[in-house]
Structure 1
Amino acid sequence: MKIEIVTTQNESLNETGFGSLKACNSVLDSIERTGHDVKLNICKFKRDLDGIVRNNPDLVVLAVKYISLQNENNIWLSDYFFQHGINFTGSSREVLRFDSNKISAKLYLANKGIKTARYFTAIPEQYQCASELPIKFPLFLKPIDAANGNGIDDFSFVTIFSEFKSKVLSLHRRFNMPILVEEYLDGREFTVSIINTPNNELTISPIEIVPPESKNGLRILGQKVKSDDSEKLKSIENNEIKNKVIKLAVNSFLTLGVRDFGRIDVRANKAGDCFFIEANLVPGMTYGSSYFPKSCEIEHALTYDEVIQLMLENGLFRAKPKIPPNKLIQRDFQS
């Protein structure tokens, strides 16, 4: 089949995506090894997308959620290709908003009875003292829409008001939007990669993420840890915890209406209660380090190529030519 991968120059994007051009080339090479006719497109303008529509591929693999245009609105790729009748991987824009805005996902799932850490938002000077804060310390601060640990460091963990005020100010200066403030969960960190196949069976790959110890004995999964690949990824050995993590992740995946694949981040408290943290619906695909392929390798011994094949199964199934009902009737009559 004819497949086209779509990415953009994403160095300035805070959002999730397959990753750098190197990661996209790894996906390209993997698909080529399956025998498909595949092409990688680095799209900067709408005309680049128009060219893909004219090519009329069987499947477009979306390596980013949108392309950013100067002085114009972003073009959301799922919307664009849906409107042009082109088959694409991943979820609709309506669902992808749960990836782009952490608060919308938390609010939606909380209203459906799925546990997520208590939270509020803050801007500089909104709160004047600790007694005004909706949740007591310790707290954890991060951007609403950033991925890859952007904006998260040791100073994201705050225990007094001066630390809170300083971190809100620094994040607001950098990202220019309200800051997500969560109750600090003092347990372990997990992520679960989920792939949906054409027969609606889920391939579920839960792992534990162990960041290196930082100040005050904390383990913060921040931007530097992720860029250095200094965190440890391992199987979840305790079956009770593993089942809790899987149940929460699968419920979140299904409730959000995710299509094809996604990664759900989960964190526990000291008591072992699990909470939804965020959804990554265009997950990183860097060979050898990204959590999505690595979790599939750790849990199911899947190779990178096998993970890519599973991720594309649903999209390729949708691309299979269907016999129109009148042709089907005619064929049966003639036989």
Structure 2
Amino acid sequence: MPETKETILEIDLGALEHNYRYLKSRLVPATKFLAVVKAFAYGSDAVKIAQKLEGLGVDYFAVAYINEGTALRDAGIQIPILVLHPQPSNFDVLIQKALEPSLYSPKVLREFLKVAKKHDQEDYPVHIKFNTGLNRLGFWENDVDYIVEQLAGRNEIKIVSIFSHLAASEDLEEAPFTHGQINTFQKIAAEVDEKLDYSPFKHLLNTSGIINYQESQWDMVRSGIGLYGYGNERNIDEQLRPVACLKTIISQIHKIEPNETVGYNRAFTSDGYRVTATLPLGHADGIGRQYGKGSTYVTVHGKKAPIIGNVCMDMIMIDITGIDCREGDEVIIFGKNPTAEEFASTANTISYELLTSISHRVKRVFVGD
């Protein structure tokens, strides 16, 4: 590993490959794999992650918005890219970049048909999203007839897949609800196959679905957080490897006397002789104020050092009393110890939010390829 001299987000492409192969091992060989690389590949680097995964043989990518797909195409990514939440104002660009839209409402379907016709498209690949209980985006179960009627006698687009999204696949106490979603999707799939003269492929499972509902993997699965090292279950996390590790260094060490305060608003008061260290990152880098005032810890030479006082925009202070360290020494914010999930849990949030919050002023460094 390179020596840490500044705040960096270290991205382990070897860990990414391990996670991909682990998730693939839970599938039957014929099942396709869609890698979710939205939000800069969960806060890392979408292009580098996509290039690595394309080399490993993934079948599809998914992004949230059209500009994310455009960035991948401009970087040379060739395999299909599903845009999960496209906006009609960008449909022209979507077609120019050969991206595949999720069509999730009557309005969006009508708008895309217009744009596809304008561009003289024939059998342009689209994906139809159905709402089976998440109540976020998607056509309803009884919209199948409407969709088929809209396509009758037209050849601008072709439905290459239908899909839905599970609401609580990580929570086994919600298994009855999840099975209800699976059953609803099965009914929709049967009706679509009956009323079209061809059979689109189907996909429903997310990372936790891959883990808990393997029998419903259909033709393809989608994984986001699992690829980056988190499976929403402790026993699965033990099988995965965190891809992102946020590291920094100690800028300065202070010796604090009893009753002295540290940081803005004097949020920390020393209960005795303490030693503190100041780190060069803060809430502008994605480590929010909710992590301050002793709520969580970082590690210095493998030992826990609590964050004290208020997190500043560009600096964090930690208590290093009893830890043998020097200015310039490495500090792990999250990675293997603590993990992003452990770090995030101290502020009552989740790894997804923490990972995707890391600012782009933090330098990305790639290892393990």
TM-score where L is the length of structure 1: 0.28
TM-score where L is the length of structure 2: 0.26
Instruction: From the CA coordinates, give the structure whose radius of gyration is larger.
Output: 2
